[in-house]
Chain A
Amino acid sequence: MIKKIYIICLILLYACNSSKDEEKDSLLFWSSNNRGEIEFSEHFVNQWNKSQETKIKFQPIPEGQSSEEVILASVVGKTTPDIYANMWQGSVEMYAKAGVLVPLDTLEGFTEFIKARCSKKVLEEITSSDGHIYQIPWKINPIMTIYNKRLITDFGLPELPSTYDDYLKAGEVIKADKDKDGYVDQWVGYTAVKVIWYERLMNFYPLYIAASDGGALVKDNKAAFNNEHAIGVFQFLQELYQKEYFSKERLTAGQDRFITEDLLTQWKGPWEIRHVNKFKRRDDFEFGFYPIQVPDSHEGPVYTYSDPKNIVVFNTCKQPQEAWNFIKTLIDKEGDKKLLKITTQLPNRKNLEAEEIFQEYFKSHPKMKTFAIQANYIKGVDNSEVIVEVFDIISQEYEACVIYNKKTPEKAIEDAAKAVDNLLKN
């Protein structure tokens, strides 16, 4: 009997061991779990596995409250994938400092490839404080102003409101109480009022970048936003709320006032094209995109926040060079073309709108071309380990000043800068 049990145990042990051997030679790749990116990833993984010895095992990121939490849990549990595609640029520095990411510039062929793909500015942005590069700039969703073409015509606006002054004037023209209940129910725009830090990436931050031509929030380990640009943005937004050109309502995901045509504009990325086309209530609903509003005195191109998502290789990866060889297939010109087609997201590549290979796509998707042109003037986030806290501090002051008018813009920005300086000092 004992002999039999012993043999069964040996067989089981062997079985476990052989399956581990198989896994040892493969690389685990996690992507975002949206349908488009799953399709995109599967396409490239299948293609790779057909011809390569080292196999790629693909899996969308496991379900969790947010992808950031899942990644954090996997880092703590040492169950990270070898490759993860969809890391928010602001999260990378923390992981880099904790030593859980592979410095990609130490891999053969990385530097040349990435220099050919990305602009100098993007490369500066992603270079860590220790001089290494831990992330591959992959895709962007620049924030622009979406507008309702019918409302522009109906209200006789001479041009798209591009400056603070024009936008405020448009706010006065559009503001209306359609159902005559004594309350405004038509506005020039809407943006989330929730105090949570990431909401500022869709309002304050793109406006600040636009006003300051890509200015930083944190520079040389100090707050760099106590300036006329940030104060101007707070003033502009405060006026929008004070004069009821914007609603203070907290809308849930299912409530979309742009779709119901109660808004002239909103600050959105290219994902909105699919969304509006899917949910619009009239077939002849027409919309377009133009750059974020700037101060009246602003000259030159208008910058915006790019909402960058990048690819990283974790240090649990046994074959980082092979991982990089696979990643290259995702981000070469053919890979980027597929990304555009399947996911409607822009690759983070220089001269995107002029590249021959993408012309056919842009011709058939003119709205995406607008975003591609905007992609020449973008900024991600500053490389700071505590960037989330920096946004949170700004968000607290934003709420007090912009939404509730409890502080002047000057005082709010000054207080936020002081708090950020204190944070960075510690």
Chain B
Amino acid sequence: MKKKWLPYILVSPYIIHFIVFVAFPVLFSLVLTFHEWNIISPMKFKGFSNYIKMFNDRMFWKSLSNTFKFLVIHIPLQIIISLALAEFLNQNIKLKGFFRAAFFLPVIVSGVVVTILWQQLFGFDSGLFNRLLVSIGFNKVGWLIDPNIAMGSIALMATWKNVGLYVILFLVGLQTVPPHYYEAASIEGATHWQKFRRITLPMINPTIFMVVILSTIGGFSLFIEPYIMTGGGPLSSTMSSVLYIYKQAFQYFHMGYSVTLGFFFAMLILGVVVIQKRYIEQGND
């Protein structure tokens, strides 16, 4: 009897956690998508009206396009910089430990703190970046006040913040490449670039895949940076999807609608990740 129940008792913490924190919220949210609810008043059944509203909500589609714009800048930038830094740290250089810690430091610093710091660096009149630009004879840049540049500025900051994590991942990937591959290539007269292109990149493909997936999911959840730095402006150019969903939920208390947006957004992330996975796997073959 005791033996029969033991496995169930052992897995019960996870099962309870799963039911309370995953299954129930997901099912409750699904029900909520068909309702109007401001949290404090009783729910009202609204059928598919939240879905219809979503398809007609121009701001939601703009927020999606903003998020994709962010991903298009952020992911390649993240991969290129972190791979370059990992390659640098993989050489026999002095102060390797110091550099590793230095690159990783922004990852563990609070996102809010980093964002406030960068907001000051990006300041138009008194920010450090513009002071430097003016001192070398360039014009000031509206880092956060020019609608064409603001999302790029946020992508730059987010890359700086997260690059340390991906450097570590790439470093692990680079260290798994057997050194004799490079030795053989050197004997054959391969250049450094050829070795990188023909040996390193194919060998660290699984790491690249992981970095792409992680930075895609991380990029889709862009929130703190625009929330603190721009509030979604200028002219809604940095209104990310998560920020818009948050606004609907906690500013206007449109819980049903925000959950509908959340569901659609989660499906979209899933779709993008599946496509990425297939594409990278095809490349691997």
Which one of B123, B147, B229, B232 contacts A249 once the chains associate, using CB atoms below 8 Å?
Answer: B123
List the B residue with the shortest CB-CB distance to A250: B144
Q: Does B195 contact A (CB under 8 A)?
A: no
> Would A195 and B233 be within 8 Å (CB), given that A183-B140, A185-B125, A247-B124 are in contact?
yes
Bound CA span A404–B150, Å: 14
Bound CA span A182–B236, Å: 29
- Chain B interface main SS type: loop
CB of B46 to closest CB in A, whole Å: 11
CB of A54 to closest CB in B, whole Å: 27
In the bound complex, do residue A194 and residue B231 qualify as a contact, i.e. CB atoms below 8 Å apart?
Answer: yes
CB of B137 to closest CB in A, whole Å: 10
The stretch that binds A, out of B11-19, B156-164, B250-258, B276-284, is: B250-258
Which one of A193, A388, A404 contacts B147 once the chains associate, using CB atoms below 8 Å?
Answer: A404
Size band of the interface chain B makes with A: 20 to 34
Chain B residue numbers with a CB within 8 Å of A72 are: 39-40, 250, 253
- Chain A interface main SS type: loop
Residues of A in contact (CB 8 Å), total 37
CB of A359 to closest CB in B, whole Å: 43
The stretch that binds B, out of A4-12, A22-30, A92-100, A278-286, is: A92-100
Chain A residue numbers with a CB within 8 Å of B38 are: 94, 98
Bound CA span A139–B22, Å: 44
Chain A residue numbers with a CB within 8 Å of B236 are: 195, 396
In the bound complex, do residue A249 and residue B250 qualify as a contact, i.e. CB atoms below 8 Å apart?
Answer: no
In the bound complex, do residue B125 and residue A183 qualify as a contact, i.e. CB atoms below 8 Å apart?
Answer: yes
In the bound complex, do residue A76 and residue B145 qualify as a contact, i.e. CB atoms below 8 Å apart?
Answer: no
Q: Does A112 contact B (CB under 8 A)?
A: no
List the A residue with the shortest CB-CB distance to B53: A426
In the bound complex, do residue A195 and residue B252 qualify as a contact, i.e. CB atoms below 8 Å apart?
Answer: no
In the bound complex, do residue B40 and residue A388 qualify as a contact, i.e. CB atoms below 8 Å apart?
Answer: no
Bound CA span A97–B145, Å: 39
Interface string of B60-78 (1 = CB under 8 A from A): 0000000000000000000
Q: Does A389 contact B (CB under 8 A)?
A: yes
Which one of A94, A185, A193, A195 contacts B253 once the chains associate, using CB atoms below 8 Å?
Answer: A94
CB of B44 to closest CB in A, whole Å: 12
Chain A residue numbers with a CB within 8 Å of B134 are: 181-183
In the bound complex, do residue B125 and residue A247 qualify as a contact, i.e. CB atoms below 8 Å apart?
Answer: yes
Q: Does A219 contact B (CB under 8 A)?
A: no
Q: Does B194 contact A (CB under 8 A)?
A: no
Q: Does A151 contact B (CB under 8 A)?
A: no
In the bound complex, do residue A75 and residue B233 qualify as a contact, i.e. CB atoms below 8 Å apart?
Answer: no
Which one of B39, B126, B233 contacts A255 once the chains associate, using CB atoms below 8 Å?
Answer: B126
Chain B residue numbers with a CB within 8 Å of A100 are: 40
Interface string of B219-232 (1 = CB under 8 A from A): 00000000001111
CB of A362 to closest CB in B, whole Å: 38
List the B residue with the shortest CB-CB distance to A386: B252
CB of B242 to closest CB in A, whole Å: 15
Chain A residue numbers with a CB within 8 Å of B124 are: 247-249
Q: Does A392 contact B (CB under 8 A)?
A: yes
Within 8 A of A (CB), among B134-154: 134, 140, 142, 144-145, 147
List 7 A–B pairs whose Cβ atoms lie within 8 Å, in order of A's numbering: A69-B250, A94-B253, A195-B232, A248-B124, A250-B123, A388-B251, A388-B252
